[in-house]
Chains A and B, each alone.
Chain A
Amino acid sequence: MANDAPICELRGIQKTYDRGHGKQLRVLEDIDLEIRSNEVVCLIGPSGCGKSTILRICAGLIEATSGEVRYHGQPLSGLTPGVGMVFQGFALFPWMTVLTNVETVLLARGTPQADAGTRARHAIRMVGLEGFERAYPRELSGGMKQRVGMARALCVDPEMLFMDEPFSQVDALTAESLRAEVLDIWDDAERNPSSILMVSHDSKEVAYMADRIVVLSANPGRIRTVIENRLPRPRDMRSPEFLRLVDHIHDVITSAELPDVLVTAPAPGLSEDVIEPLPQVRSGDIVALLDHLEAQGGTAEIFQIATQTHTPFDLIVRAVKAAEMLDFVDTPKRLVVLTPLGQRFAAGSVDERKRIWGEQAIQLKLFRVTRDLIELHGGELSRDELLQEIGARLPMEDPEATLDTLVVWGRFGGLLTYNDDGGALSIP
């Protein structure tokens, strides 16, 4: 389908943000990506993997820290030509009618006023909003607003259509028809847009839309795998091949987020000084996960946990990671299984839970180090001192967030007390 000369390429893109005090947050690392003509590329991954940042770097809205953006082979800085953008939150001007919203974009490109009206009306007709030209965005439903967003992006006849989670704020049925309509518009090989780059967090959506699925992992954002999707179009979301592909995408995402390797019990002597960072998740969320697993008979699929508990997927991932560190669960592939200890915890009374939690948490090096430090400081350690220690020992982590997690876990297990006023830690 796609021919070889890329329209737009990213080469060795890195992106870091300055967090002050000379500290840097790495958001993207070694991103190579090309968008060829006549293809749909989707970026998928957990939140914080930088997928929207990649889209914005491709569009020239954000500058990469290093690396190169090329457009038809030429290195580029500033806005990438030939791009129409569709935003997650629609980003329509509320004080303009549907027609003016679209016209404004055309006028910005130097289209004469008379032409702008005609072309804007044509784009509005193309997305099925004929008759709504004089309506204001607030009078429209989410789905219709995004149709305006699409008309605005399409009216400039863009070579590439960039969409940032375009259907995540639209109800499910409308999203389904919008996806099909976007593909219909794209499908005409003679006309623009030639290619689509879309950010999504929905594996069904990417399996339906994409020719190539770029799976990212987080902290820092890296390309994990690229899955070629050769299912014939139009795709049937209920066909066995389609469901197999969705399963495969799930597997890839999970293995990126929860690698099936032993994280606990490192070889003795080898990593005496290595401290495992804590997943940023409150003990209450971990307990909720364990309760949910018990209610499900001890085993559940990680994507289903997120759907059934209406919890964001990345929060579930962090809770599962934390529960695995504490030996409460195992994670064979996409499944999360309560260990015998996890079962005892889930069945236990409040006091028992606290006791088991404390016994498990103290196995983590960070808690042992913290308690040693408190003793070294005569029984009381100030927040700032601990922040410094955390910063020195876990340079890749956000010290404030780590300290908060440490305090919440430590309090729950009765390992630490924290005086909120003075900000001092002690051992109960």
Chain B
Amino acid sequence: MAGASSVPSDLREAAKSFGLGRWQRTRALYLPAILPFLVTGWVTAAGGAWNATIVAEYVTHRGQILTTFGLGATVSEAAAHADFHTLAAAVLLMSVLVVTFNRLVWRPLYHLAETRYSLAK
């Protein structure tokens, strides 16, 4: 919400005065203006999602175990069976994945958001 209200009024007025249509306004003004907020949201959500895989991929319900194939399930399963070798390997893999993802995706996006898409003058 802070993102949507952060579109500076002078840019809105300029877009209006030059007759930018709705689609053009969205592409040229609103999306770029809220990108820094979007990125912040994505990063927060991505962190939460990794956590959620561990919980959601391995569910114990009335003594029954529901599980899927995935890294989150492996971590939970290894933890439940005290299989520390598998647990260590899975957690290490997950850490490497998170860090790689951060380096290759989030950090460049963040940098872009902070420089080109920053509205600070």
* Chain A interface residues toward B at CB < 8 A: 59, 61, 79, 83, 85, 87, 89, 91-96, 104-105, 107-109, 136, 138, 152, 156
Beyond the given A79-B16, A91-B10, A91-B13, please list 5 additional residue pairs across the A-B interface where CB-CB is below 8 A: A93-B32, A104-B24, A105-B20, A108-B20, A156-B18
Which of B37-45, B100-108, B111-119 is found at the contact surface with chain A? B111-119
| B21 x A95 contact (CB < 8 A) | no
A94:B116 contact, CB within 8 angstroms = yes
Judged by a CB distance under 8 angstroms, whether B28 is at the interface is yes
> Which chain A residues border B17 with CB–CB below 8 Å?
59, 61, 79, 83, 85
**Which chain A residues lie closer than 8 Å to B24 at the CB level?**
104, 107-108
Measured CB to CB, the closest approach of chain B to A106, in angstroms, equals 9
Give the CA-CA distance A425 to B14 in the complex, in Å: 47
Contact in complex: A89, B10 (CB < 8 Å): yes
Least CB separation from A155: chain B residue: B18
Count contacts on B: residues with CB < 8 A to the other chain.
Answer: 20
Give the tally of cross-chain contacts (CB within 8 A).
51
Chain B residues with CB under 8 A of A59: 17
A105 and B18: CB pair below 8 A? yes
Which residues on B sit within 8 Å (CB–CB) of A89?
10
Q: Verify if B29 is at the interface (C-beta below 8 Å from A).
A: yes
Which chain A residues lie closer than 8 Å to B14 at the CB level?
85, 87, 91-92
Q: Which residues of A contact B13 (CB under 8 A)?
A: 61, 87, 91
Contact with A along B4-40 (1 / 0, CB 8 A): 0000101101101111110010001100100000000
A238 to chain B, nearest CB (A): 35
Q: Using CB atoms, name the residue of chain A closest to B8.
A: A91
What's the nearest-Cβ distance from chain B to residue A91, in Å?
4
**B11 x A91 contact (CB < 8 A):** yes
Cα separation A107 to B19 with both chains bound (whole Å)? 10
List of B residues within 8 angstroms of A138 by Cβ = 121
* Complexed CA–CA distance, A96 and B24 (Å): 13
B14 to chain A, nearest CB (A): 4
B26 to chain A, nearest CB (A): 13
